[in-house]
């Protein structure tokens, strides 16, 4: 009986001392995981802020799938918005002769104003302007 009790105490002593080391290891692992999670959360937050800034610099147009970047000159942005609205009406009016006649006049006016605006832009703004115009016109092409 003494051997059994003594064996139980020895095993218990070993378990108690070995569990203390595991608890310390577990605490270290938890602390390490917390710091890694904080670092990853900071990275995600940074990316979220950058993405939010990029999105806020663009304006959704009336035409689905086309976003209009902000320009220093407000008239440029207004023109692109009105051109996108025109394109949406043009797409909706396919086959309607009366609407198409009205839209043809509006299209000529918008094209003339677009050329004037393009002439007044610097190179970088002109590239953005042309890019948006091409995107809008590509949406209009299937309606022809």
Residues 82 and 138 in one domain: yes
Residue 39, token pair as written in the block: 């670092």
Where in the sequence is the domain holding 74, given as residue range(s)? 59-143
Chosen domain end from 56, 75, 102: 56
Determine the length of the chain.
Answer: 144
**pLDDT score for 9:** 64
Chosen domain end from 10, 40, 56: 56
Would you place residue 24 in the very low, low, confident or very high pLDDT band (cuts 50, 70, 90)? Answer: low
Chosen domain end from 16, 41, 56: 56
* Helix, strand, or coil (residue 95): coil
Decide if 40 contacts 32 (C-beta within 8 A). no
Domain count, the chain: 2
**pLDDT score for 19:** 56
């Amino acid at each position: 009986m003494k051997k059994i009790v003594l064996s139980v105490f020895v095993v218990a002593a070993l378990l108690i001392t070995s569990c203390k080391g595991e608890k310390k290891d577990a605490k270290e692992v938890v602390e390490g995981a917390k710091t890694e999670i904080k670092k990853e959360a900071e990275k995600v937050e940074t990316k979220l802020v950058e993405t939010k800034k990029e999105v806020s610099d663009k304006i959704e147009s009336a035409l689905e799938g086309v976003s209009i970047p902000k320009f220093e000159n407000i008239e440029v942005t207004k023109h692109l918005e009105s051109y996108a609205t025109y394109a949406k009406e043009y797409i909706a009016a396919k086959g309607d002769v009366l609407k198409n006649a009205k839209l043809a006049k509006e299209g000529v006016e918008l094209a003339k104003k677009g050329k004037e605006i393009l002439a007044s832009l610097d190179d970088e703004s002109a590239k953005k302007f042309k890019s948006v115009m091409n995107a809008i016109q590509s949406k209009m092409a299937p309606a022809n």
